[in-house]
Each structure stands twice: as C-alpha cells, then as structure tokens.
Structure 1
Amino acid sequence: MIKLYEKGAYVLNGNEIIDEKETSAELLKAKIGEACSKEEAAQNTLAYDILKAHNTSGNMEKLKIKFDKLTSHDITFVGIIQTARASGLEKFPVPYVLTNCHNSLCAVGGTINEDDHMFGLSCAKKYGGVYVPPHQAVIHQYAREMLAGGGKMILGSDSHTRYGALGTMAMGEGGPEIVKQLLSRTYDINMPEVVGVYLTGKPRKGVGPQDVALAIIGAVFEGGYVNNKVMEFIGDGVKNLSVDYRIGIDVMTTETTCLSSIWITDDAVKEFYEIHNRPEEYKELKPKKVAYYNGMIYVDLSEIKPMIAMPFHPSNVYTIDDLNANLSDILEEVEKKALISLGNNNIKYTLRDKIRNGKLYIDQGIIAGCAGGGFENICDAADILNGKYIGADEFSLSVYPASQPIFMELVKNGVIAKLMETGATIRTAFCGPCFGAGDVPSNNGLSIRHSTRNFPNREGSKVTNGQIASVALMDAKSIAATAANKGYLTSAENIDVEFTKPKYFFDSKIYENRVYDGTGRPDPDAEVKFGPGIVDWPAMANLTDDMVLKVVSVIHDPVTTTDELIPSGETSSYRSNPLGLAEFTLSRKDPAYVGRAKEIQKAEKARIKGEDIFNSNIEIKGIFDKINTKFQIDEKSTEIGSVIYAVKPGDGSAREQAASCQKVLGGLANIAKEYATKRYRSNLINWGMLPFLFTEELPFENGDFIFIKDIKKAVTDKISEIKAYVVNKDMKEFTLKLGELTDDERVIIEKGCLINYYRDINNE
C-alpha cells in the first residue's frame, strides 16, 4: 500500500507521522511538549543539514552548492572537459572520476570510442582526476564502492547519480553544471522542498527493490508529487532492507523526477563502508526530534507485490499477477498508450501477439547496470534458477555484474557457474542495455529488464527505420522466475525457493591495480590526447536586442523525453563531436527537424559574417518586411534562429546534448507548458537558450515565424512576461514567460552560452 498525503507532515522521533491537515500549532505543541514552528521543523530533516553544510551563499533560500566529488562517464566527460578547457580549466579542484561504461564495446565508428577513453586518461593525468578503464565498473557502482560518504554531496553528469541509501546526497545534472564545479563555481538552486518517504513493514518473499521502486514511481509520477524535490527515506521499515536492497530502490528515484534523495543510515550502512575498506566515511543520519516534510509518501512494504512497468514509461505499472489475470485487456490498454509515444511513424505495434496458450511470452531477459547488476540481485536470481534451464526457444537471459569486484566475488562463490548452467550469458560491467547499445532484441521483441528506463528505442530499435521493440521493467527475482519458466511471465512470489544470501567480500586489488588515481596531483606538462572524432564546440553568438525565431518542430505529446530530443544508442559514439551528433536531433520524433533548423540557421550564419541575410533564405526578407510594418529593426543586429515547442520536454536523462544539439543547429529557445525536470531547463540555459513558458492554446504552428522585441532588455531587467508576435499571422501578439532565473543564468543567456560567459570573465 502506498499513500500520498495531501499536505505536509510532521515526523516525531523518526517514527510517528502527524498529518499537517489534521493538526495545528497548539496540538503539535501538546504532542511534543514544546512550541515548534513549521519553519523550524523543516530545518530538522537530513536534507536540510546536508544542503546547509554545502551551501556557500549564507542564504538557505537561495543555495549556492559546492560538491565534494564529481563523476562522469565516457559519453559525457569529453564534452564536459572540452567545455571546461574552453572556459579556462587549469586543474580539477575536487575529486573527479571519469568512468568508461557506456562506450565500452568500442563497436561503432572505428577508433572514436577508444580515442575518447584515451582523452579521458590523458585529462586525468593533466588535471588531476581518476580514470576507471572500460569494463571495470558502471559509473554508479564505482561511486557507491569508492566515492560515497555519509553527509557528502556528489554531482554526476548521468541522471541516475543517486547514492542516498549510503547517506550521500547525489544529483544528476547536465555537463555544464559539472563544468561550473570544475571552475570552482557553484550549483545555484532555490531551497528544494523535502518529501518524506516513510517505509514500514517488511517485503514479501519474492519482492525485490525494483518492485518497491516501480510501485512508488507509479504512485507519484503523473501528478508530479516529488518533481524537483528531495525524497527523504525514513521509517521503521528501513531496517528490514539490506543495503543492496535500499540502493536498488534509491537509484530509481530519478524516474520520479525528484531532484535528489537521502536515507537514514544505520549499522547496515556502517558495515557496507567497512566491507569496502572505508569505515571513516560512515555517518549516522537521522531526522531530529520533530521534522517537517512538504509531503509524505507512506509505503507499507508488506503490501507490495511483484511489479512490471509496461512500455513505454517506468510509471506505467501493474502487478504481475494483475497483468497475467487480465492479459488481453491490459495489453490492449498498453498498446493504445504506446501509440502516443510512437507518434506518426506508421508502425504496427502490438503486444497481444505475445499471448501463447493464455500466457505472456517474453523474448528476452536482462539483469544489468546500476539498478540490476548488484551482488544481491544476481545471487537471488541464481537461487531461483538453480537447477533449471531457460530453454532453447526465443527467450534469452543476460546478466551484467555492475563491477569487476562484484563479478569476481560471484565467480568465487559459484553463482556465475550456476547462472551459466541455466543457459544465461554473463557480460562485463556495461550500461549498454539501459540505453540501446547492448542486447538489442529482435523486431517486435519484448524484453524484461532490471534496468532503469523503458522509453521508446531505449532497447536499440529504430522506429523511423520500421523497427520496434519493447522493454518492460521488472525486478531480477521475477526476471529469473520468468527465465525458470522458459520465458513465460512469472511472478517471483510463485516460485518455491530458499534464498541463500551469501556474504559479500570486496576485493579492492582490481581497482588498485587498474584505476589511475591522480587526485590532487595534476601534471600541467601532460599532453591531452585527441582523436579525429573529438571536435571543439562551434562559436556561439551573444544575445541581441531583438530576435526572430522560426518554429521548426511542434510536439503535442504529454511528455517529451531526452531520448526523443537526442536519441541514445548509436548516437553515443558521436557525443564528442557536437556537429556530428546534432544530425540526430529529434531524428526519431521529427525527422524533418534538422533540415528545417539548418535552413533558417543559414540566415544567422550570414548575419554573423556580415553578409546579406536576405540572400541566405528566401523567406527572411518577407518576414522582416512584415515586422517593419510595426517595428523598425535592423536585420544586422537581430538574432535569427529556430525554436521548438513541446508540452513537457526533458523527462529522463541528464544529457546536456538534448539542448546543445539544438543550439549547434541554431536553436535559440524552447517553448513549453512546463519543463519535465530542472536539469533539462538548466541545460537550455547553460547553452544560452531561452526556456520560455506558454500555457494557453498555441497561437502559432510549425513553420511560423515569431518576433520578440527587446528580448535582451527583458532578460537583463528581469522582466518575466515578454510580448511576442506571430509574424505569419499579421503580427498576432501573445505573451511568453521566462520563469525564475538567477543573475548568473541571465548573464549566461546574454553571453550566448556558458563557454562565452567564462571566457569573458577570464578576459576581464
């Protein structure tokens, strides 16, 4: 059972919830024996203490955070370091870990993936960082084993940067926020609200961490209950969960769209740090006597059953029992929802053809990555599969231990042999299945995965090429139960098994012998190694007084993911080449976007060169003539670019390229009803793009031009409501909003991007 409180809640001594809706200051005082205001109680959470310890502004309403450590992987760190180098980077001021778990296979694009790896190693030497070679560990497992610390804060360029179960507040943001930290700047946010997650009871046998996580996501996502807030896990049920179990729930908090997470800590967490030879990193964390939370999620662990998140979102959840009992009806419902995500691609999408003899047949099972590849998950799966076989039909099973130390212990204790005997295949530490670069299923295939996301194309299919496959998210236990049943969907509760729960022994020698650690020892004379696929960012112009925008894509889907803005999978090999990567922008959602954006960009390129813009684009002269019937503007000093409209863009990955690719193609703004995540909006701003808000019926269509007068003045003077005009519709006026911007964000937009901002600071 999961209950969402309508208002906030007070928690006394960490274990008694008082609903704000049912109390008053007088009743609260009588309960605790002393007066305590809501404002005072809000300062008694774990989150408040950690944020206060890392805030440099002196104002707890307007935070300026400096993180203890940073981490990135090999499809983000090249762009980040290139941006930082262009902005004046001299050394890494805090530990910065460069992991290599996304392009590990080096399978696409010739030498370019390994060139990126060598770039990372050379930068770790030059600037004083840590380099984790390919196949050693997925980014988040290495961070758990080697970086996390009680009361610490870690910033990562991957959206699933979540180490709250270890007492570490971690956040996943786009690359520019990492750049700011590398340049000794701050992460600037308003004090976030904190939502309590009160866990009680004990999970049923067969119910795993992914089941709990999916149940929570299903309860909170659609209504935005925790959007951009901190989830704080408390309650008497925490002690009933192993640390691996807590980690499995925690990593999935990203899919709720929360900002970060933090958990109370106890002896189990203390033992985790002792096992990993870092006992000094343990810190006991618990809320003070009375703590106020802006919301409360009450979770009775004993009521949660094995879950499945059907395509195409982690919040599209059902119990496995309900799905099996109502197969045809639920699959028809899922198919209808899928059509919204798939758009107008003329794809025949069906799941009901997977029904065989009244059961749902699965084509593939995957246990992998930061969510599924933990020691306990894999051991439990092996216990369920012990002595069984996955069969010789379509169904296959692949298991990816999350780090080499985990892999080695599974070899030593015999779990790997047990799994291989069943017909499962074992891989190294690699994130590929999570973003479409490994174990891609067949066309029309259905894959069940203990991984983090199941957006369209996350499994590697290409809708625009007529390919479609589906991913459903499940826990490792029920994936193993399905495998034991030779591919027929099965709840782990329906399997007779005794879980052996072998003890984990961590061997640090693998890291000691293979990981380069140059923390605090930069070598200015070290040479940075470049490959031909590593390309500098193109020059970007400053904001001008006025702006002309062409609408080049209009997306009416309820939510637009970063995977749809810039696809994952095959594009990962181009992440170090901004120009090459930009060619894939919106390729699966709106394939004509790139051509439209480039066409209008010709005019801006001509303007920057001082050439006649009217010769560059046949439409532009007529547009300026119409604008000049109402305003007198100078085409030589009016920025020209493109804009996309989406209802709610930016759900999912932290990847900055969802914004930077638009900018590389001449994108100057987004217009949205709201932004799905803070990190996507921040990415827009850091690339000098205007994050406009518009909640009414659209006055423009795809292909229309929009004129904005005095946009620079509006940004500089903090004008929140801005008049705009649809040029094609006789200068029809409408109002855009910008939302709250920090002073630095306004200057970044004015300068055209973060690189320009820092370059100008360094030249002053």
Structure 2
Amino acid sequence: MITLLQNGAYLLNNSEIIEANNEAEAILKSKGVVETKEEAKQNTMAYNILKEHNTSGNMEKLEIKFDKITSHDITFVGIIQTARASGMEKFPLPYVLTNCHNSLCAVGGTINEDDHMFGLTAAQKYGGVYVPLHQAVIHQFAREMLATCGGMILGSDSHTRYGSLGTMAIGEGGGELAKQLLNQTYDVNMPGIVAVYMEGTPSYGVGPQDVALAIIGAVFNNGYVKNKVMEFVGPGIKNLSAEFRIGVDVMTTETTCLSSIWKTDEKIKEFYDIHGRIGDYKEIAPGACSYYDGVIKVDLGAIKPMIAMPFHPSNAYPIADVKANLKDYLHECEERAKVSFGDKIEYSLMDKIIDGNLYVEQGIIAGCAGGTFENICDAADILKKSDGIGSDKFTLSIYPSSTPVQMELIKNGVYATLMEKGAVMKTAFCGPCFGAGDTPSNNAFSIRHVTRNFPNREGSKVQNGQIASVALMDAKSVAATAANKGFLAGADEMEGVDFTKPKYYFDKSIYETRVFDSKGVADSSAELVFGPNIKDWPSMTALTDDLMLKVVSEIHDPVTTTDELIPSGETSSYRSNPLGLAEFTLSRRDPEYVGRAKDVYAMEVERREGKAPAGELADAYDKVKKQFPDADAVNTALGSTIYAVKPGDGSAREQAASCQKVLGAWANIAQEYATKRYRSNMINWGMIPFLYEKENLPFELNDYIYIPGIRKAIEEKADKIKAYVVGDAMTEFEISIGELTDDERKIILAGCLINYNNTSK
C-alpha cells in the first residue's frame, strides 16, 4: 500500500525510481543519464518554483516573495493590526480576506460580524479582496480564483495547499504574512524534497481521504517528510481526477510537511478551463532525471477505505480491520485518551458496540477536504441506494465548499437527493473542522470528512466534563455509514453503486455580485471599522541582558497540538482581542496555566517599574547572587515558560504563541518543535524556542531558571547556552536555540516583530 524508501532516489522520465544505493551509479550510466546528483536535485518541480520566487541569490538560504497571500476571519484582524503597527500603508501584493471560520454571528454578541466589517473596510482601505461569509471556504476560493501553475501562495491557515493545481502554497502564522505586507521575505533553508510516487488506480469505493490517511499514517510518527516538500509524481496521477488530487493534497499538512507540488496534466488544464482561467495553466513536470531526498511509493490499487481513529489523522487503519477487531481498536483509543485527558474524565467507547457493530451518532462532510463537488456527488450516489439515514440518533450534515459548488449541486439535483435521504445541507463554513459547528453530543462518536480530529477540538471540553470522539473518513464511507443508519461501513461494502460523476459547471456570478475586489487599488480615505472586541497588540519590551524564567506548565505528551495551546471553537470569537483570547491559553490542557503566568507577569511589571524583587522572587535572586554576584533585576527580564516534548502540531494560528507572550512568556523549552510554523510564530512574537533534547529534565513545575548573558548569546550565535535551575545548589544544564536567521535574531532581541520593524526604520 505505502512503501518508504530509506535512501534518496532518482526519478527517470516520471516513470522509474532508481534508489540511491551502491548500484545506482551503474544503473544510471547504463541508461545514459549524465546529470550529477546535484544537477538532478535542480530538476524537481519544487526546486524550480522556489528558485523563481527566491530573492536571496542563494538557493541554500531562501528568501521568498510570494505572489499572493490569503487569510480568514480568525486571523486577518491580527495580521493587519501587526502590519499597521509596523507602518504598512497599503497591501503591496494581492491579499484575499475570506470569511469562513467566524461565521456564527450569534456567538459572543456582535464581535464576529465586527471582525467581518473590519475585514471589508481593510480591503477597501489597503487594496485587497474581501469574500463575505458563507460564500466560500478559504481554500476553495483560492483553488477557484487564485491558484496559478508555477505560482506561490502564503496563507494564514495551516491547510494552505494548492500543489495539485501547480501552486506551491504554505500555511504559516500571521507574522509571516505581516512580513509579506511589509515587503519582507519568508526565510527558510532549502527544504528537502520527497517524491510521492503514485502508481495504479484506486479501487472501488476508495476516495481521496482514504489515500491521504494511508500516507499520513505511514509518515507522521517517523517524521519522514517533516518540514520538507512533498512532490507528487508517477504514472498513477493520471488516474486521479483533479478534485481527487485536491482532496489528497489538502491533507498533506497533517504529515507536517512544509508544502506540496504535483505534476500537472490535461485534467488540471481542464480544471482551469472550467473556472475560466486557462491562462493560469501550464504544464509542470520534473526533469528527465530528478533526485529526491526520499520516496513514498503509493500503490493506489492496494488502498482500502480508511478510518483515522481518535485523536489524530495518523491513527489510520482500514475500516474493515477496525470492524473485525472493534474491541481492540476502541480500547486503544481509550488508552490514547488517557494520555491527553488523564483522569479528568471517564472515557469509554465500548458502549458504541451494538450487536458487534460500531454505532456512530454523527456524520459530517465539509470544508476544504470534504465539501468538494465530486465528494458530495459521490455521497449522493451512495445514499440513492438507501431508504435514507433513519430517524434515530445518527445525523448527517453536508457543507459545500463554495456557493458555486452549492449552486451546481442545486441545478443538477444532487442537493435535493441528499435532502430527501435525510442530510442537512448547509453553507460554506469551516466550523465542523475546528469545533464551531455541528458539535456532537457528550460522549458521541462522529465520523467526518474534514481535516483534523485532534483531542479538545470538535466538542471536547474536558474541564466541563464534556467529551466527543471524532474519526476521519472519506465522504464515500461517511455516506455508506449514513446509508447503514449510523453503523460503521466502508464504501466498498455498498455494492453496485453507479458513481455518475456529473460534469461540473462553474458559475462565478455570485462572486461578481458579492465579492469586493479593489483590483489592487487602495483607498486611503476609507476608515477602518473597529468593533469593541478589536484591540491593538499590547506593547512588548526588548530582551534584556539576562533572563529569569519560571516554569508554569509541564506537558509530557508525545505531541502537543496548537488546539491544546490555544483552543479552537468557541475561542475564535476572541481572536481579535489579544488579552481576551489569552484567558483561554492552555485552558483545556492545563487550566492552572493562565493564573500561574499572570502571577509571573505581575512580578515582571513590578520589575519594570523599578520595584525590588519580593517574596519567592527575592529568594530566587538571593540564590542566584551566591554564584552570580553581579546579577541585577534591572537587566534581567522575568518571564514564564512552558515545557512540552513536541509542541505546535496542527494549526498555523499565531495565537498559540502570542497568547503566551501577552501573558508574559519569554520562551518555550522543548525536545523539538512539531512544525516550522509554530517555531516561526514564537520567534515573531519574541519568544525564544529553546531546545533541551534529553528526556530527564533538570527542572520541574514552578522552578526558576536563570540564563545569564542570553542577549549576548543570541547576538553572537552561540550554539550552546548555559542555564541554571535556581536552588540551593544552582543546577547547571545546557540548552540550545537551533538555527536562526539574522532577522530572526533581531526580532527576538527587539521583543517581537512589531518592535523590530519600528526600531529598524
């Protein structure tokens, strides 16, 4: 099904893989290949697109300028506020503001719609594009209207992936988009490039989510593609429709890769033609001989309908295996829940087994992954074979990914078919993916064709005794389960379904009616509209000579998601209010964190006011001064820190870092960081991404850590930094920061990106 090569490999003519072992040179020579390994590296699609967008002149140290950027309504306010505070006067490149996350305008009073009004007036004032709510989810609009073959797009949503359409797209935190708005660059070392070599044809009942989950299951835990580019090649691609490829591509984010790119062909050309943008198409393909740092071989025909069990997309198994060994798989989920929830809640799934079958209470097909035209049509074809979803607990909700998709489903009758069978048809909205729509009942099991199923995401609120289990499946299998009245079923179990594959006709008239497009022309006379919840970023100070940290949270889970660092769902309404949102930091993982962090920050405020340390802080300084007599609170910032084994998997939201910063954090300490984007978010908010790679910690919760000479160490690019656990013995240990660009060092020294931009003018 999925095979990972342990070495790099050469791809010849998009059809033959030659593994880079001792025999490779002779094989290549026999085939007349003259390129060296270094030359072959430059023949990948990713290398050439990056080269076209790199401004550094050095392909090892990239400084990328993107063609376009895009954000949605729980990120664009903070990004524009950062850019405004840094001196931005107009958008220097096309910037599309979509509204598909904070769409429930009844939640939290007026504040969600206030964000939308801010977005509209910002697009008018600074020269952007504004897509009103319910018109399109961010990534579908980008596919329909923004993607170009050979282009690059930066988005403030982690699932910014348009590789199947020939666009290298990257999801990052808000700070990186603010940099583009300030004519700065996206700086990254040349990433490794891994080939995803596809062969064969998908079997009956297998959809894009099945292929995606199989790949994620094979590469997530071993970090095979972490921060690399996945380049899709091989003869099997031609057997996939454009939307099938889109459905696989959007899920590459869950592998922790940096970006993706696919070979383009006539099917992608047809996609651009359907959307009236044939001029944005060109053929993209690797050279005759290309070298890759790794290869994921995908036998499409061997993949079966899959399910990603709670609580991660990588917990992926064939549905048939799960059904055959239900108790074992459900027990495994229960054990996994203990890691995330501890003893805070009683969690059991065994009651979901009825007469040997797994009963689920909810099915969802939605968003950038599930809500595409082809997925919904396939689901309707399956439901046609049934007498409907029934009248018991099971419910089915379907969210088309854009109004043009919705309009065509209405015109061709699919919409009516789905409603007749009991599905609830809704508008373009990302809510079910992050816990702001169709939240299931307590203890319910939900199956969803969306992008994520992390703990604490789509309904779990453990501190209130609430828990929900979400599994990921393809739209076809969600529909098969719906046809089976809520009892788990793979689409391959539905015999004789005629997948009609109706032709799609794109009608952009609704966009022409509703979308505001400035055509890049800014109107400086336009006034920004601020609702009462929209607040400026609080002021932040530069890094001092020395640093005192207090450990205010310890997390020993193998991976900590951004949803655990700052919850999604109901907190989305506060994303435009830095201090208001910060109250939710780690609330579902460590409810005591906010209080501890505030206590530290209160002491830091007193330090800035010139007050002498008191209480436990005075005791800590007394211990420090026994070894460091010159230690001085005037030159030593006090801040909080958390320890997590591997923080930052998942969302690109910068608030996972900024919420810690506005509560006074100066650092995280981790064995490693799950994604580049979380580490970038920390840096852009002036937080130091410390690394301590050993498992046995020299410190524990509530310990103080003293780091003398931290500013000098960052300035001088020190590899190792000495730190001390403050106690009677002052325990010394070493930490590191990892590679930083010169600008990243300056941002940390300045205290945040805003300070850096204002002090460098």
Give the TM bin, normalised by the shorter chain. over 0.9
CA distance in 1, matches of 2:506, 2:711: 56
Equivalences for residues 344-355 of structure 1 within 5 A: 344-345=343-344, 347-355=345-353
What residue is the counterpart of 1:686 in the other structure? 684
The CA deviation at 1:613 is 4.0
Per-residue Cα deviation, 1:16-58 (whole angstroms, up to 9, x for no partner): 0001125343432222x14321111010000000000000000
8 Å contact from structure 2 (residues 33, 289) kept in 1? no
Number of the residue aligned with 1:558: 558
1:642 paired to 2:640: yes
1:630 aligns with 2:627: yes
Query: Which residue is equivalent to 2:499?
Result: 499
**Once the 2 structures are TM-superposed, how far is the Cα of residue 519 of structure 1 from its aligned partner?**
3.1
SS state of the match for residue 614, structure 1? coil
Q: How does 1:119-518 map to 2 (within 5 A)?
A: 119-345=118-344, 347-386=345-384, 387-496=386-495, 497-518=497-518
Whole-angstrom distance in 1 between the partners of 2:603 and 2:637:
9
Relative to structure 1, the CA distance from residue 21 to residue 341 in structure 2 (aligned partners, 3 Å threshold; closer, same or farther) is: farther
For 1:728, what is the secondary structure of its paired residue? coil
Superposed counterparts of 1:108-119, under 5 Å: 108-119=107-118
Q: Deviations over 1:446-490 (max 9, x none)?
A: 000000000012212211100001100000000000000000000
Q: Is 1:582 equivalent to 2:582 in the alignment? A: yes
Q: Secondary structure at the match of 2:613?
A: helix
Deviation at 1:663, TM superposition (A): 0.3
Which letter maps to 1:655? R
Normalised by the size of structure 1, how large is the TM-score?
A: 0.98
Q: Tell me if the contact between 1:29 and 1:36 (Cα under 8 Å) persists in the aligned partners.
A: no
Residues in 2 aligned to 1:281 and 1:728: alpha-carbon distance in whole angstroms: 63
Gaps of 5+ in 1: none
| More deviation, 151-160/622-631 | 622-631
Aligned equivalents of 1:642 and 1:435: distance in 2? Answer: 28
- For residue 253 of structure 1, give the secondary structure of its aligned residue in structure 2: helix
Letter in 2 for 1:151: G
What secondary structure does 1:659 align onto?
helix
Count of residues in Structure 1 that have an aligned counterpart in Structure 2:
757
Kindly state the Cα deviation for residue 331 of structure 1 after the two structures are TM-superposed: 1.0
Native 8 Å contact 1:196 1:233 kept in 2: yes
CA–CA distance in structure 2, aligned partners of residues 519 and 692 of structure 1: 43
Give the corresponding residue for 2:541: 541
Say whether the 8 Å CA contact 1:434–1:452 is kept in structure 2.
yes
C-alpha root-mean-square deviation of aligned residues, in Å?
Answer: 0.8
- Give the secondary-structure state (helix, strand or coil) at the position aligned to 2:639: strand
**Per-residue deviation at 1:514?**
0.3
Partner Cα separation in structure 1 for residue 715 and residue 728 of structure 2:
29
Question: Is the Cα–Cα contact under 8 Å of residues 65 and 187 in structure 1 kept in the other structure?
Answer: yes
Higher mean C-alpha deviation, range 49-58 or range 22-31 = 22-31
Letter in 2 for 1:67: F
Contact 2:543–2:749 (Cα < 8 Å) also in 1: yes
- The Cα shift of 1:350 comes to 1.1
1:669 is aligned to 667
State how far apart, in whole Å, the 2-side matches of 1:107 and 1:250 are: 33
C-alpha offsets along residues 556-577 of structure 1, whole Å, 9 cap, x if unaligned?
Answer: 0000000000000010000000
CA distance in 2, matches of 1:499, 1:35: 47
Task: Work out the CA distance in 2 between the residues paired with 1:192 and 1:457.
Answer: 32
1:708-733 CA deviation, whole Å, 9 max, x = no partner? Answer: 00000000000020000000252100
Partners of 1:211 and 1:331 lie apart in 2 by: 20
CA 1:268 to 1:729, structure 2 compared with 1: closer, same or farther past 3 Å?
farther
Task: Please give the per-residue CA displacement for 1:205-245, whole angstroms capped at 9, x wherever unaligned.
Answer: 10000000000000000000000000000010000000000
In structure 2, how many angstroms separate the alpha carbons of the residues matched to 1:395 and 1:114? 32
Secondary structure in structure 1 of the residue aligned to 2:626: coil
Q: Is the 8 A contact 2:305 2:474 kept in 1?
A: yes
Judged with a 3 Å threshold, the aligned counterparts in structure 2 of structure 1 residues 525 and 613 are, in CA distance, closer, same or farther, namely: farther
Amino acid at match of 1:682: S
User: For the structure 1 residues 492 and 364, does the alpha-carbon distance in structure 2 shift closer, same or farther, using more than 3 Å as the test?
Assistant: same
What 5-or-longer segments of structure 2 have no aligned partner? none
Which amino acid letter does the alignment assign opposite residue 675 of structure 1? Y
| Structure 2: distance between partners of 1:743 and 1:581 | 31
Deviates more, 1:624-633 or 1:445-454: 624-633
Which AA in structure 2 matches 1:537? Answer: W
Bigger shift: 15-24 or 353-362? Answer: 15-24
* Mapped partners of 1:604, 1:684: distance in 2: 20
2:103 is matched with which residue? 104
Matches for 1:608-623 after TM superposition, within 5 Å: 608-610=608-610, 612-615=611-614, 618-623=615-620
Aligned partners of 2:447 and 2:472 also within 8 Å: yes
**Alpha-carbon deviation of 1:339?**
1.2
- Give yes or no for contact 2:62–2:189 (8 Å, CA) kept in 1: yes
Give the Cα–Cα distance (whole angstroms) in 2 for the partners of residues 287 and 572 of structure 1. 41
Name the counterpart of 1:738. 737
Local SS of the residue matching 1:640: strand
Look up the match of 2:607. 607
Q: More deviation in 185-194 or 322-331? A: 322-331
1:343 and 1:589 in contact (8 A); partners too: no
For residue 598 of structure 1, what is the aligned residue in structure 2? 598
Q: Distance in 2 between matches of 1:730 and 1:390?
A: 67
Secondary structure at 2:108 match in 1: coil
Measure the CA separation in 1 of the matches of 2:290 and 2:401: 36
What whole-Å deviation, never above 9, does each CA across 1:64-95 have from its counterpart, x for those lacking one?
Answer: 00000000000000000000000001110110
1:406–1:729 distance in 2 versus 1, CA, 3 Å: farther
Secondary structure in 2 matching 1:629: helix
How many angstroms apart in 2 are the aligned matches of 1:414 and 1:263? 33
Contact 1:25–1:37 under 8 Å retained in 2 = no
Percent of residue pairs identical: 69
- Please report how far the alpha carbon of residue 109 of structure 1 lies from its aligned counterpart in structure 2 after TM superposition: 1.1
Partners of 1:24 and 1:425 lie apart in 2 by: 56
Whether the 8 Å contact between 1:312 and 1:341 is mirrored in structure 2 is no
Which amino acid in structure 2 is aligned with residue 451 of structure 1?
A: V
- Name the residue aligned to 1:41: 40
Deviates more, 1:581-590 or 1:601-610: 601-610
Report the residue type matching 1:198 in the other structure.
Answer: Y
Q: Is the 8 A contact 1:163 1:251 kept in 2?
A: yes
Name which of structure 1's ranges 288-297 and 327-336 shifts more when overlaid on structure 2.
Answer: 327-336
Give the deviation of 1:633 after TM superposition.
1.4
Return the alpha-carbon distance in structure 1 between the equivalents of residues 392 and 288 of structure 2: 58
Amino acid in the other structure paired with 2:617: I
AA paired with 1:76?
A: T
Q: CA contact under 8 A between 2:370 and 2:474: conserved in structure 1?
A: yes
Q: Distance in 1 between matches of 2:570 and 2:342?
A: 21
Distance in 2 (alpha carbons) for counterparts of 1:563 and 1:255: 14
